[in-house]
Amino acid sequence: MPLQTVEPKRLYRQIAEQLRTLIAKGEFATGARLPAERDLARQLGVSRPSVREALIALEVEGRVEVRTGSGIYVLDRARRGSTVELTDWGPLELIRARRVIEGETAALAAVQGKRIDRDAIARAIDDMKALADRAVVPLEADRAFHIAIVQAGGNSVLIETVQGFLDSRLGPLFQRLGGHFETAKAWRSAIAEHEAIYDAIAARDAQAARAAMHEHMDKSHQRFSASWRRAHAP
């Protein structure tokens, strides 16, 4: 038979496959609570973010249910969907990659950006505030903010790279993770972080712009890595 193309598997998919197999074999029975994230991470020898991405993948498939403040539970077979061939980047891994790239695009915007670019960044923040005030998730305005920043640098490769990062947020993993952790409180904090980035770019301070973007990405990672118990805290 002809050789098949070998595709590298993302770590969260490998973890999800192991957990899926254990569930299928009855190691975790219907209604059982899975071990805590930290325990799974220790047993598997991986990071907690990778475990979280795997659990979200299994939730998308309908194999487990996240019960805030209680834990992760195995669902009845009748409620499960088919195995999803998830090709999305892991959401938490994505944020780390964005930190590297977008820290530099913010610095470039501070040095090379023109008034029209700064105006576009400011408008995106205003749109985010207006949507958040109406309890609407301002994802498109957030996208406009980050696109305006990278466009200020004028590098088409970076523009397409950041666009790809942002497009990946439309995948099932990121959307399900956002459903747990993108609260009104989280968005208020995020908007304040965006304002700090804008202030540094407007001051044409590349170092401060880079630092502000790094802080925003670090805090985004923290928000998505918060305990399930604190996910829906007021």
Query: For residues 55 and 47, what is the distance between their CA atoms, to the nearest angstrom?
Result: 13
Which pLDDT score is estimated for 80?
Answer: 59
pLDDT of 3 reads 45
- Cα separation, 224 vs 202, in Å, equals 29
Q: Token pair of 200, please? A: 């540094």
Structure tokens at 198: 């804008």
Query: Distances in Å between the alpha carbon of 79 and those of 74, 75, 76, 181?
Result: 10, 7, 6, 24
Residue ranges for the chain with pLDDT beneath 70: 1-9, 78-87, 227-234
The pLDDT of residue 161 is: 97
What the chain holds in terms of domains, given with CATH numbers, is: 11-79 (1.10.10.10), 91-230 (1.20.120.530)
User: How many angstroms separate the CA atoms of 80 and 74, rounded?
Assistant: 10
Q: How far apart are CA 183 and CA 190, in angstroms?
A: 10
pLDDT for 90 equals 85
The answer to whether 102 and 214 have CB atoms below 8 angstroms apart is: no
Asked if residues 57 and 19 have their Cβ atoms less than 8 Å apart, the reply is no
Q: Kindly report the pTM of this predicted structure.
A: 0.82
